[in-house]
Amino acid sequence: MTLAPAPERIGMSMEEFLRRSAESKFEILGQEIVPKVPTVSGHSKTIKRLVRVFMPFEDKKLGEVFSETTFVLEDVSDWIRGSRIPDVMWIGREKLDAFYGIVSEADTKPFVLIPDIVIEVLSPTDKYSEIASKVDFYLRDGVLLIWVVDFDAQTVVVHAAEKSPVILRGTDTLTAGELLPGFSATITELFSHGA
């Protein structure tokens, strides 16, 4: 009797992940390793604006905001089956405290958790299909709220689990519900926020 070969295990060890990440940034999306393309200045300025919007909530110790920072998904301890590098992510205080309390040598590893809010900023080189695919990955990961920000169109598309996407523009108000109590900004305000 011939045994069928075991299915190939997706991902890599934490050690290999850290070694390869030191050489160049990449994401593991499904079964693909996708290189992270360097950003252009306009893209970076938009990310900076968005980070500033979250700072008052970080000052209140509700969580922390990060830009272009890796989070990973593990199958078992130290085996990375997926990795993401969102433009901006918000992690609530409870998740951060759990990460630092449970993960040994946490400061030497990527975040092994799912952020509460993820923001992707469209850049001129982005393809809609690629962004839509990333949104699907984030939703499957368990990210509660995803904002796709298009600075040129002055819109934010809001994605949440089991809800249809909502396009906000102009005087429409962007909120984060219970994830960030008190967060509220019109789209016009968001895009006019000083850089």
Q: Which domain holds residue 118?
A: 40-70+82-192
Q: What pLDDT sits at residue 126?
A: 77
Q: Is residue 75 part of a domain?
A: no
Domain total in the chain: 1
pLDDT in tens, 54-64: 999 999 999 99
Q: Is residue 18 part of a domain?
A: no
Residues 72 and 111: beta-carbon distance below 8 Å = yes
Residue ranges of alpha helices (H) inside 60-159 are: 93-102, 128-141
Strands 12-13 and 173-175: unpaired
Residues 27 and 84: beta-carbon distance below 8 Å = yes
Q: Is residue 27 part of a domain?
A: no
The residue behind tokens 């409870």 is: 94
- Note the Cα 139 to chain centre separation in Å: 11
Summary mean pLDDT of the chain: 89
Q: What pLDDT sits at residue 191?
A: 84
- Nearest partner of 121 among 143, 89, 163, 91, judged by Cα: 89
Q: Is residue 103 part of a domain?
A: yes
Q: What pLDDT sits at residue 190?
A: 86
Q: Is residue 33 part of a domain?
A: no
Residue 27: how many CB atoms within 10 A of its CB? Answer: 18
Strands 173-175 and 166-169: unpaired
Residue 161: how many CB atoms within 10 A of its CB? Answer: 12
d(CA 109, CA 106): 5
Q: Is residue 29 part of a domain?
A: no
pTM: 0.90
Q: What pLDDT sits at residue 52?
A: 93
Query: Span 175-181, mean pLDDT?
Result: 93
Instruction: Say which CATH number the domain at 116 has.
Output: 3.90.1570.10
Task: Give strand pairing partners of 153.
Answer: none
Q: Is residue 49 part of a domain?
A: yes
Say yes or no to pLDDT of 70 above 90. Answer: yes
d(CA 116, CA 86): 12
Q: What pLDDT sits at residue 96?
A: 95
Say yes or no to pLDDT of 111 above 90. Answer: yes
The residue behind tokens 């400061």 is: 107
Query: Span 83-105, mean pLDDT?
Result: 93
Higher pLDDT, 192 or 81: 81
Q: Is residue 63 part of a domain?
A: yes
